[in-house]
């Protein structure tokens, strides 16, 4: 079984318009939402083997805050290919993951995250909001197989889903 958590980074700050896109930090709401979503995962006893994140400051900050709430000591791997990636590029990163990892959280950007979920889940979502999490479980042994398999479990959560 392989468990994949696809996360859209939390809300970023536009306070300093001179910052390059990749350098934008989380705003206060983004920080709060990332902690809250991490707590929700922890309440469900989610355990991760690997966290992969876009190198954008807002994505890394989201991953770190969620990992802290999950009490995850897993190192966050920054993957350049996830910055501004479409569904195909995100899927390529997932498919290249080591099969020794059974539970992976990937933090990236829209529209790529929503597009990928729509391609591999069998569910059609209009938009994954900031800090939204889609959790997919597949009855496969290798990450390469998920694009061809149907998930055996699907969940979708986001900060305003109270």
Residue 38 within any structural domain of the chain: yes
- 76 three-class SS: strand
Strand partners, 57: none
Residue 112 is part of which domain span?
2-9+23-157
CA gap 57, 61 in Å, rounded: 6
Q: Are residues 6 and 104 in contact, defined by beta-carbon separation less than 8 angstroms? A: no
Per-residue pLDDT band for 40 (boundaries 50, 70, 90) equals: very high
17 inside domain: no
The answer as to whether 138 is a domain residue is: yes
In a domain, 18, yes or no: no
Domain membership of residue 54 (yes or no) is: yes
Work out how many domains the chain is built from and give that number.
Answer: 1
Nearest Cα to Cα of residue 45 among 79, 69, 75: 69
pLDDT at 84: 93
Query: pTM for this structure?
Result: 0.96
Per-residue pLDDT tens digits for 82-141: 999 999 999 999 999 999 999 999 999 999 999 999 999 999 999 999 999 999 999 999
| Residue 14, domain member (yes or no) | no
pLDDT for the residue 75 = 81
> What CATH number is given to the structural domain containing 89?
3.40.50.1240
Residue 131 lies in a domain: yes
| Assigned token pair, 127 | 């938009």
Residue pair 131/32 in contact by the 8 Å Cβ criterion: no
- How far is it, in rounded angstroms, from Cα 133 to Cα 37? 8
- Given a cut of 80, whether residue 74 has pLDDT beyond it is no
């Amino acid at each position: 079984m392989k468990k994949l958590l696809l996360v859209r980074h939390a809300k970023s700050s536009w306070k300093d318009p001179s910052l390059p896109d990749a350098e934008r930090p989380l705003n206060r709401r983004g920080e709060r939402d990332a902690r809250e979503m991490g707590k929700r995962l922890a309440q469900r006893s989610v355990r991760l083997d690997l966290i992969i994140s876009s190198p954008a400051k807002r994505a890394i900050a989201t991953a770190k805050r969620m990992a802290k709430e999950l009490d995850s000591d897993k190192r966050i791997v920054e993957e350049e290919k996830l910055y501004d990636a479409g569904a195909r590029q995100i899927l390529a990163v997932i498919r290249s993951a080591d099969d020794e990892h059974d539970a992976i959280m990937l933090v990236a950007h829209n529209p790529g995250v929503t597009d990928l979920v729509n391609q591999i889940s069998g569910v059609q979502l209009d938009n994954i909001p900031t800090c939204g999490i889609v959790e997919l479980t597949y009855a496969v042994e290798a990450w390469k197989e998920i694009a061809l398999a149907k998930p055996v479990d699907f969940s979708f959560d986001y900060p305003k889903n109270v």
